[in-house]
Structure 1
Amino acid sequence: MIRILLAEDDDVMREYLARALTSAGYHVTAVDRGTAAVPYIDSGTFDLLLSDIVMPEMDGIELAQHTAKAAPQTQVMFITGFAAVSLRAEENVPQAKLLSKPFHLKDLVREVDSLFGRADQSHQQ
């Protein structure tokens, strides 16, 4: 089963995203900030880091840079509602995918599916 580490500081959004991805057949571990994600990344057992960019303590870009060193096999996808921040992400972590808020859950699932070659599957939302 594909394992996703979700780092999102907004409680409602984190629950919403985790539920959608779990329903789509992914194993999701969700944390509320970048620093809480670090021990999980260091375990090296995740296929995808799905991270908000703007978070307290450690932002998503710093978390992605840590991930690139500690678990280079882990793919990275950012979610953000800030255009200027997305430009910074593209400059600092060019290999990461970027999904801009607002988005529909089916768009998120489609993007994650495409990362893992599951684009042909359909999911119920």
Structure 2
Amino acid sequence: MPKILLAEDDNDMRRFLVKALENAGFQVSSHDNGMAAYQRLREEPFEMLLTDIVMPEMDGIELARRASELDPDIKIMFITGFAAVALNSDSDAPKNAKVLSKPVHLRELVSEVNKMLAA
């Protein structure tokens, strides 16, 4: 069962994403800020990081950068209302990260997660 680390500061969105991913067969560890997610990532490996970009304490781009330093093979996906920020060539976001714009449809999310994990 693939393990996904989810960082999303919106409580309703986080619960929504956890339920959808667990229903699709994934094991999900969710956190409401980037720093908490990073601490968890240091404790155990995950196949994928699914993160919002704009969050308190540590934004998603910094979290993704640090996650890639800890595990260069981790798959990274951003779910954000600020897709242009993640796609900015000047950002520190990992270049192979996938970006989904909010609002995201659950079928699309699960499909994209499966594609990334299969790659």
Could you say whether these structures have the same fold, taking a TM-score greater than 0.5 normalized by the shorter chain as the test?
Answer: yes
CA RMSD of aligned residues (A): 1.7
Supply the distance in 1 between the matched residues of 2:112 and 2:90 (Cα, whole angstroms): 17
* Percent of aligned positions that are identical: 50
1:102 aligned residue: 103
Superposed, 1:17-96 pairs within 5 Å as 17-88=17-88, 91-92=91-92, 93-96=94-97
1:24-53 Cα distance to aligned partner (Å, 9 max, x none): 000000000000011221134100000000
Task: Describe the SS at the equivalent of 1:112.
Answer: helix
| Contact residue 42 and residue 70 of structure 1 kept, 8 A | yes
TM-score (norm 2): 0.91
Pair 24,90 (structure 1): closer, same or farther in 2 beyond 3 Å: farther
1:72-120 Cα distance to aligned partner (Å, 9 max, x none): 22111001111432333784221111111112111000000111229xx
How many positions carry a matched residue from both structures? Answer: 118
5+ long unaligned stretches in structure 1: 119-125
Supply the distance in 1 between the matched residues of 2:88 and 2:53 (Cα, whole angstroms): 10
Supply the distance in 2 between the matched residues of 1:84 and 1:95 (Cα, whole angstroms): 15
Supply the distance in 1 between the matched residues of 2:85 and 2:46 (Cα, whole angstroms): 25
Supply the distance in 2 between the matched residues of 1:90 and 1:99 (Cα, whole angstroms): 19
Pair 89,103 (structure 1): closer, same or farther in 2 beyond 3 Å: farther
5+ long unaligned stretches in structure 2: none
| Contact residue 48 and residue 117 of structure 2 kept, 8 A | no
2:115 aligned residue: 114
Pick the structure with greater CA Rg. Answer: 1
Q: After TM superposition, what 4+ stretches of structure 1 lie above 3 angstroms from structure 2?
A: 88-91
| Contact residue 77 and residue 99 of structure 1 kept, 8 A | yes
